[in-house]
A and B are shown apart, each in its own frame.
Chain A
């Protein structure tokens, strides 16, 4: 029996789909059998980020309404043998499936896969309820901004009500802004949200570039975000991986200057 993890945030645009795609790929990279499920019906993007848009035949609503079997709707990734995706419908609405239907699908997928990564839509309405219905645990993605943290807090509360344990990923951290104090501190965010931190992901232009190319960032080991996602995937598997340093190593002279207070 596999593990179903929902990736959610409340606020839109913080990187749910990016995180889903990269974690799914990273877990596949580590040799796990993974299925990604896009529950953002009507506004699907996971297929675009994964570069699998042109391979979709059936979708999640087709399965729910019995037009095809679950296995028929799964799209196999072009890079990994053991990575699949269940796409959302683009022409339908979030109300066209019920949480029970999604739960049944996730249960069935859990039999065949080690991990089921569920990409949740923004908001806390029907789409959110669908996405968390079958989840064993949750990854709450936030960015170091007040608005995103506030929405994450709301979502964590809702997940607690549904008895889904959640862990935090802080996305799009800009070390330079952290240094000047213009961005919320990681410790500050963790303290406010009071849940375990699963990982931090630095802001990286390569994420946008590779998403446009339909290639998950994790495939590019030169990207700092890629390393961060790989670390998160290892932590999901239970490895103890320290948080990556956000700054490049500072030179001896610089550290000495800092110590003297003139740096």
Chain B
């Protein structure tokens, strides 16, 4: 039928595994599935009840498309679809953990809340009464005077850095801290807050290399 096979059927201990190619058209895949079930693999696919696992590779599919695969397989009474797996979902889940950096500019005023999954760079001020909540780091190029919560889902390595750190409250992961009782340097330098053994600390941003050091590649020296 086709020059290249898009579907590989493997027998395993639990039953059959359908490996579907992830680069061809979805409709071609369905056609070939039909063809295989009807024509070429008739003997193999008739008889006792067989459990089937479908692997989609890195193809991204909708629920609707998954249902269509299922319904094709169900046409053969003896095939019982156990699972439909896609690596794409696992990959995208892993990507979101990688924390994308979002850059936004503006003023976050009292009563306004900015939430972001990942790290956030704000070009502007965070006013008292306003909040930023991020699962990653928070960087504010401006005055941070409101509430900032970094590592909101428990990442204790997250930091909060600002041109001028004058917060009403800072939170990293589960730790809540407020100046000036706990810390306040009064310097006009760029500072960042981080957790050290579960306690909020503030230091100049130039000291950040002590906890995070990215390799620097010198060129042309």
Binding site for B on A (CB under 8 A): 150-151, 153-154, 156-158, 160, 192, 194
Contacts and interface: CB of A to CB of B under 8 A. Distances in A.
A35 B66 CA distance: 64
B125 interface: yes
A194 B108 CA distance: 11
A247 B111 CA distance: 36
B126 to A, nearest CB: 11
A153 B129 contact: yes
Interface string B113-141: 00000000000010111100000000000
B127 A192 contact: yes
Contacts of A194: 107, 125
Given A150-B128, A157-B130, A194-B107, 13 more contacts: A150-B129, A153-B110, A153-B128, A154-B109, A154-B110, A154-B111, A154-B129, A157-B109, A157-B112, A158-B111, A160-B109, A192-B127, A194-B125
Contacts of A192: 127
B125 A157 contact: no
A156 B107 CA distance: 11
Contacts of A150: 110, 128-129
A160 to B, nearest CB: 8
A151 B109 CA distance: 10
A84 to B, nearest CB: 34
A153 B129 CA distance: 9
A158 to B, nearest CB: 7
Nearest to A153: B110
Nearest to B145: A192
Contacts of A156: 109
Nearest to A10: B110
A154 B125 CA distance: 14
Listed from nearest, the 5 A-B pairs whose CB atoms lie closest are A157-B109, A154-B110, A153-B110, A154-B111, A153-B109
Contacts of B107: 194
A192 B125 CA distance: 9
A140 B36 CA distance: 73
A28 B110 CA distance: 35
B19 to A, nearest CB: 51
A150 B130 CA distance: 10
A154 B127 CA distance: 9
Contacts of A157: 109-112, 130
16 contacts: A150-B110, A150-B128, A150-B129, A151-B110, A153-B109, A153-B110, A153-B127, A153-B129, A154-B109, A154-B110, A154-B111, A157-B109, A157-B110, A157-B130, A194-B107, A194-B125
Contacts of B127: 153, 192
B188 to A, nearest CB: 14
A227 to B, nearest CB: 31
Instruction: Find the residue from B109, B110, B111 having the highest chain A CB count within 10 A.
Output: B109
A261 B127 CA distance: 37
A139 to B, nearest CB: 17
A124 to B, nearest CB: 8
A157 B127 CA distance: 11
A247 B204 CA distance: 41
B4 to A, nearest CB: 55
Contacts of B112: 157
Contacts of B109: 153-154, 156-157, 160
B13 to A, nearest CB: 60
Contacts of B129: 150, 153-154
B198 to A, nearest CB: 32
A150 B111 CA distance: 10
Interface string B141-173: 000000000000000000000000000000000
B109 to A, nearest CB: 3
Contacts of B111: 154, 157-158
Interface string B72-114: 0000000000000000000000000000000000010111100
Contacts of A160: 109
A153 B109 CA distance: 6
B166 to A, nearest CB: 11
A194 B107 CA distance: 9
Contacts of A154: 109-111, 129
A156 B106 CA distance: 13
A87 to B, nearest CB: 31
